[in-house]
Chains A and B, each alone.
Chain A
Amino acid sequence: MMDHQDEEALREILISWYGPQAEHWPMSEFMLNIVIAMLDEMHNCTATMHFVPHPVGPGNAVSQLAKSYLKKFLSVAKSNAKVYLACARATILSYKTQVHMAAEGL
């Protein structure tokens, strides 16, 4: 479901959070689902994301987002990546192992 533009937006978010090592990570739908779960946990950090459609309920978050909404979602998340980092560093560290595992395809 992700195109190249989506992958690059996702990559930029992960570089902001985890540093240059994320430049070479493969961007998969599983990785996108982890980032969406993280953004959901960090929603108190900024009101900006409140106006963007979010996946609802459990399951595959990506499949719940229409293509156009996914672009908007990633665009706003990318613009606010550093805001999330300054606000929710502890949360971002909590997901580090899971993100690394996804980057290794595990």
Chain B
Amino acid sequence: MKYWIAVTLMVMAASHASAESCDYVTPGTVYLPYHKGAHTPVYFSKYQFNLPSQPDVLLSGDGFMASYPNRDYIGQQHVNPEPWSDQLGRFTSRPVSVVDLYRLIYGILPANNLNAAEQDEVQLQRSLLKLDCNANVTVYRVGGTVDVILQVRQVETGFHTLLLLSDEGVELIILRRPMKEVMQVIASIKRRR
């Protein structure tokens, strides 16, 4: 009996350790040539991309949205930094902008020089955004100039995330489209003159 209790405890400890060690790994960079898409260009902030196929409906609101059949969509929004002050205020060792916060969360900036509370905050955000050792994240350098972070989400969550991080701010593109079209969007992103 004692043997089985010991074995059970060892298995539980091992699985707990395994769960704790499932840390997010900073993604590598993949170079992608620019490729102009065949459909309508979308201008936002200082960037543009082409829609990968013809949408059913176009909507404007806080950003741009294109609706496709079967509740698919492509949405772009500029992330307004103003409402983030409460979250950014949790970083006390140095000032952190919204862009830096995303860079820390996605591992573009190292988090190891943050204090313990700040590292906890980054870890919480990673857990909320499903960023662990199983996350499918890639940084694409498109046309040699524009860095785009792609997070491919699990099928059941249904959407992919694109992030354009620059000193001018955060541009967020959410896509619920086939992977082929997601890649077409990424390849067509460029900075406007």
CB neighbours (8 Å) of A90 from chain B are 102, 105, 125, 128-129
B172 close to A94 (CB less than 8 A): yes
Interface residues on A, range: 20 to 34
User: Within the assembled complex, what's the spacing in Å between the Cα atoms of A87 and B83?
Assistant: 12
CB neighbours (8 Å) of B130 from chain A are 41
B127 close to A101 (CB less than 8 A): no
B79 close to A93 (CB less than 8 A): yes
CB neighbours (8 Å) of A56 from chain B are none
CB neighbours (8 Å) of B74 from chain A are 97
Interface: B119 (CB within 8 A): no
Q: Which single member of A94, A98, A104 contacts B59 (CB below 8 Å)?
A: A104
Interface: B10 (CB within 8 A): no
A94 close to B83 (CB less than 8 A): no
User: Within the assembled complex, what's the spacing in Å between the Cα atoms of A45 and B65?
Assistant: 28
B71 close to A106 (CB less than 8 A): yes
User: Within the assembled complex, what's the spacing in Å between the Cα atoms of A89 and B81?
Assistant: 11
Q: How far is the CB of B35 from chain A (nearest CB, A)?
A: 24
CB-CB under 8 A for A91 and B67, given A86-B87, A100-B61: no
B128 close to A86 (CB less than 8 A): no
A94 close to B87 (CB less than 8 A): no
Interface: A60 (CB within 8 A): no
Interface: A67 (CB within 8 A): no
Q: Which single member of B67, B84, B87, B161 contacts A101 (CB below 8 Å)?
A: B67
Q: How far is the CB of A95 from chain B (nearest CB, A)?
A: 8
CB-CB under 8 A for A89 and B62, given A97-B73, A97-B75: no
CB-CB under 8 A for A97 and B174, given A44-B124, A44-B128, A90-B128: yes
Q: How far is the CB of B60 from chain A (nearest CB, A)?
A: 10
B124 close to A96 (CB less than 8 A): no
- C-beta contact mask, B101-136 vs A, less than 8 Å → 1, else 0? 010010000000000000000001101111000000
List A residues at the B interface (Cβ < 8 Å).
Answer: 21, 37, 41-42, 44-45, 58, 86-91, 93-94, 96-98, 100-101, 104, 106
